[in-house]
Structure 1
């Protein structure tokens, strides 16, 4: 319907209630956040003004020539989910004529009474209007009754026609906004897959995947468990999750849990009440409490005692803490991120780590890749750390890069930083050469005078020491199977017995 003077004059025929309904609907248009809520509110207005017994709003699929329910209501405020309860024939008639239709005696009209749904539900009065968008029928509003409704008048038809025009304009605005939001989500998703995280340098496939995962989990409040070898940057990943989250304006606090007496660690985490122990001369707030609304990072979580594990479980389950020496429960809104270089699932099987706590921590696991699995990032990392340590862009020779790439890096990024720092100190020229790159264990291998078998055994022992006896990590660093490691260790035992 176009707003030509003749149609505008028809507005004079609307009563006060209908004018108020149009005004009410115009307010809804300016406040409705989405398509679904808009249409639900629209149906309420239609049923209320026309005093219909039922109301239906359907979307029309032109390609398949069918309808799908968006909203269907009874006057009793009950929802209708079965489209077959309405006449598809009448819907098609509105579509084909592409204009508002009004029928006072459907059962007496041979062109309409033939429709099965009309007969089944004894429909007598129907009023229907198309929703036009881009000169096409986007949907249809139908209101019907089993009585001869005198309210279904020409004036009501004018009201619904203006109503459908307003609804069409609203749908156009909302659908465009929803499309923009969809495109925005797609762009954000693409950006997350390539956008680098500060301090997490690298363009390898594993680093791109890690970056995308961090971006995604940062948007949630899920508890994260970061695993990986020492020196892979677990705390950097935890900080990145915090900085990309909604908690970024609140504290990020961290606590290293390894090699700390249990009582000291507990007092640091939970705080204490004055007089709780000798030396507790005043109340002290714990780190978990201080991190309220922010993020708390527990590094080397595998090293805490079983007693402390039970208290951490309470924090994760109930968001509650109790200071040492106190009985008062305090609520804390803190996101927990934990990290370890140990296999927590294996510790659970050994009875050294609580199973319930493990599952609470392992809501969203992240595995930090070792440096040997991202060797293509080494040139970028080397350049980055040279600039960070020296404050200058000191070039590094290809031979030096090759030397770095060929090393197995048991200490990962932390070890690389130490090697670069030594190289910067030793560099007395305008560039870093291979001679400036000093790698642990390489001189010992160069001076080795034994047999190939002896060399093999020496290298195996050295790697086992570097990985704290972990056969899986040792096998991975050597590029062999765990079975090979077990076989060689058995050979070493047999050789020792022979002696």
Structure 2
């Protein structure tokens, strides 16, 4: 019985449905299974084999072997390998309705041995190379592959090879990214410090050198760059990691209140001092004390802080005795303290005591190579049980890479949190971003999406160029008839004079 595609499903419609199905898959193995199932189901084959050439050994490897029931075939050798290699070498599809009576297959032992009847072998071609083949067969005369089946498979192969190459690239990048993360992890054991860019690797290298020392560290960077995170990472990887890590934001309290918080006070030293209070420096003894925005300290408190650094002693307010403290001091500021010293608002001797080691933390705009890994990290961190997002679209990533990020990583984290809430599917799209991120000067109109016809026109022009404007070669490469190609050239107003 002659096999025909259903009357209500044209080749173009079948191709559109196939394209929709495979373009939504990012996993390499899942993609190959789907390609095979679509091919088998559409042409009603009994068996299908998807083979890819190993780039290193150049050997053909069966990646998927399936039957019409979508079951995996254990013995993948019972096929006509000669036909496979002929298609691979010629770059042309091979079809037969009855291999038993076809003179091209007379000398092929596999045809008789495995009772092969209908066979289609379509090469997977990418520009000027063939990366593999799709092999379909049937062992009964009830299923005969006709020209329509071949025309579909030729066109489908062009779609499939693009998806395969993209999935391989994605898989390769994922492996490379994992390798790089493992490399960084083996070098720097800093949880939650994400960075693969050169500026951040410099920061990580410096952190590695100082973690097991007790020298003061000054972190300098804009608001939102992660100064507190880095301070905590230094502590948790130091010899003091089992002791306390205490933070005080220096700009949040009036001078008198901040002084009592930092140094403590003696009972009765002022109205309301009903009992002795341990200050934060004492509480952090043998641990790490992080002074955030140290540039906001008053000159009075700066003087007392200098004594802590020089003598490792503090005196509670209203007390007459000094107390020894053993703390490592990490400070942070978004100010240029050299300028504050010149203006007289910051003590020069304190400045040099604090900046024994100075770490300049780059703003996000100067480390944009980190944005993809930061986005992945933040998605994993911020996803909830009720709302999980897998990633961002390529258009969104383009927007994020072009945006200037005045709020740095804090702004990126807030943006991801906003987008997760707004997202309707597994991917964050441009419309899910906050309005301030979607700058019309940044997002060009074509970034949203190209029309399918634009993509097809561009593809036809590229294939024409590759085939030196030969219509016959171009139609063969596209897997369509010459008549269809001529119609497309007219439809898309492709007027360059082709050479036959």
> Could you tell me the TM-score, scaled by structure 2's length?
0.50
TM-score normalized with structure 1 length: 0.50
**Which is richer in helix?**
1
